[in-house]
Amino acid sequence: MRVTIDLDRDIIIIPDNFFKKIAEENEKLQKYGAEPVKALDRIKHSYEKAMADTDNRLLTQSNAKTTTRSKKTMTPEEAKKMLEAEAAKAADNK
């Protein structure tokens, strides 16, 4: 799923089906016993991860289409651990 940051208007543009896709992903997470992820937390997570590694994750549009970076398949156990770590981090920040 792609999200665009418009620097001229200071807005974040999401796909029309963004919340529907997040709901579908959350259903899968719940099926495997993991906690659902809030839509805005999903954007924040990806933004923070990309900004933490701009040498590899700051790409031009044409380079993003040809990058060899691929998604790693995650097991339900890995997803649960990641989500629990994110939840703990969010709880610590409150």
Q: With contact defined as beta carbons under 8 Å apart, do 52 and 43 qualify?
A: no
pLDDT per residue over 43-85, tens digit each?
Answer: 999 999 989 988 888 888 777 777 555 556 667 777 778 778 8
DSSP state of 4: E
Structural domain total, the chain: 1
Domain that holds residue 8: 4-93
Which of 12, 49, 62 has the alpha carbon at shortest distance from 4?
A: 12
First-to-final CA distance of the chain: 28
pLDDT in the model for residue 71: 57
pLDDT per residue over 23-33, tens digit each?
Answer: 999 999 888 88
Strand partners, 13: 4
The pLDDT confidence band at residue 18, using thresholds 50, 70 and 90, is very high
